Amino acid sequence: MTAPLPKRIIKETERLQTEPVPGISAQPHDDNARYFDVTVQGPDGSCYEGGVFNLELFLPDDYPMTPPRIRFLTRIYHPNIDRLGRICLDVLKNNWSPALQIRTILLSIQALLGAPNPEDPLNEAVAKQWKDNQAEAIKNAREWTKLYAQPKE
């Protein structure tokens, strides 16, 4: 039941290779062009700096009418990302527009790493820590980044 890949997905994939976004990579699987291995580098100056985070991205059948499914595979200490790696981000939900693209979404995720929002938490425990003791929270995020998100040589 494999329908031919829509032009939109082909174009997006091409562009991701020819004009890559700095600090982000997205590689489709050979056997499934809708499934991408993604890496996002922690933004400079953030508590995730130096980390490389692995994510999985899947384009559902009705993409781009519905947003891509995306999830962190690398453990991360972040108020808007839960233990299963699910992400709380408006453009992945209510504010999704079919005119948005994989690259714009990945950029939004990178921006989310640079600006955690504990007021709209997905991970209650982390968000609470972020509000009660931000220094401690940032320290945790740094430690987790060192522990889990080190680039492979």
Partner 1 sequence: MDSDDEVNSVISSEDLGGDADSSVGDFGGDDSDVDFDELQEHDGFDTQEKDLKPRKKAFEIDHKVYSPEDIQRQQDDQVAEVATLLEQPHESTAILLRYGRWNKERLIEQYMDNQEEVLDKAGLGQDVQKSPPRIEVIDGFVCDICCEDTPGLRSFALKCGHRFCVDCYRQYLAQKIRGEGEAARIKCPGDGCNRVVDAKSLDILVRTDLTDRYHQLLMRTYVDDKENLKWCPSPNCVYAIECGVRKRDLTRVVPTVFCDCKHSFCFGCTLPDHQPCPCSLVKLWLKKCEDDSETANWISANTKECPKCHSTIEKNGGCNHMTCRKCRNEFCWMCMGMWSEHGTSWYNCSRFEEKSGLDARDAQARSRQSLERYLHYFNRYHNHEQSAKLDKDIFHKTEKKMTLLQSASDMSWIEVQFLEEASQALQRCRQTLKWTYAFAYYLARNNETEIFEDNQKNLELAVEDLSEMFEKPTDQLSGLRVEMMDKTTFCNRRRIVVLDDTAKRLKEGVSYNLHFYGFGVVC
Residues with active-site annotation? 88
The yes or no reply on residue 6 touching partner 1 (CB under 8 A) is: yes
The yes or no reply on residue 17 touching partner 1 (CB under 8 A) is: no
**CA dihedral sign, ordered 54, 143, 78, 109:** negative
The yes or no reply on residue 11 touching partner 1 (CB under 8 A) is: yes
Residue with tokens 């640079």: 114
Contact residue for partner 1 among 3, 84, 99, 115 (CB under 8 A)? 99
**CA dihedral sign, ordered 120, 57, 7, 111:** positive
Please state the closest distance from residue 11 (CB atom) to partner 1, in A.
4
The yes or no reply on residue 64 touching partner 1 (CB under 8 A) is: yes
The yes or no reply on residue 134 touching partner 1 (CB under 8 A) is: no
69/122 Cα distance (integer angstroms): 16
The yes or no reply on residue 135 touching partner 1 (CB under 8 A) is: no
Residue 134 CA: distances (Å) to CA of 43, 75, 119, 138: 18, 19, 13, 6
Residues near partner 1, by CB under 8 A: 6-8, 10-12, 62, 64-66, 95, 97-100, 104
